[in-house]
Structure 1
């Protein structure tokens, strides 16, 4: 018995818009920037743990911790950010979700350390906000329903 089925038309390849290309490039850039920020956070943390007198406070600040405490926070955060950057660069969904979360935490951590490293903190916060945007707007892995296809 043969089945009477008409051959189906091939599905046209999905064309990427300029916005999709920009977001995909932004995601690659976000992964690289997270890797760089993670490594620099590790260095920041080690420096703060090893030598408290390397950083000076710019004034009185409500959110003050001992510099050694900030060093440990940045060291641990930096290690986790580097691992997450690897996940983003490999294109994993867990890397993308963790990247958004860690970029938000990194923004908060750098806001709280503004008195110790004001220019670096402002730069790190700006990069983290860009990372959040890039990871949240990359729709290249989305299906018709708007949900990630993995």
Structure 2
């Protein structure tokens, strides 16, 4: 009767969140980053293309030209899409940190954008906060699941 008693067995290791398989939370965060980045990009294009689409407020503390806000949203939108693609296709730790940073900046920029387009800004703030939450908790969830 043959046994495996003499063969060395590989030691069970705990999964490393830096090389863990991508969980559902991380995939959700990546898809939301791509969606939110596309929305921010189109929001920026609308602000640059036609200034009469948005309400121009007077005496706003963070007063900035609509063209300037448009370029801010275009840059953040492109960065969010790039971060979402990096998280979705690689899932490495630097992509998560980059996604957290860009989504945080996106939430902050949309908070300052509230007087110009309140409903759209609130939706993007919620999306960006959900992305930050999912990326922050996804690595721990993936490490425990393995």
Q: TM-score, normalised by structure 1?
A: 0.78
Q: Is 2:65 the counterpart of 1:78? A: no
Structure 2: which 5+ residue stretches go unaligned?
A: 1-5, 16-21
Q: Which residue is 2:48 aligned to?
A: 49
CA contact (8 A) 1:87 1:94 kept: no
Aligned length: 133
For normalisation by structure 2, the TM-score amounts to 0.80
Instruction: Give the Å deviation of 1:26.
Output: 1.5
In the alignment, is the contact (CA less than 8 A) between 2:23 and 2:142 conserved in 1?
A: no
Deviation at 1:123, TM superposition (A): 1.1
Q: Higher relative CO (CA 8 A, sep ≥ 6), structure 1 or 2?
A: 2
Contact 1:59-1:115 at 8 Å conserved across structures: no
Whole-angstrom CA distance in 2 between matches of 1:127 and 1:65: 24
d(CA) in 2 for partners of 1:68 and 1:10? Answer: 60
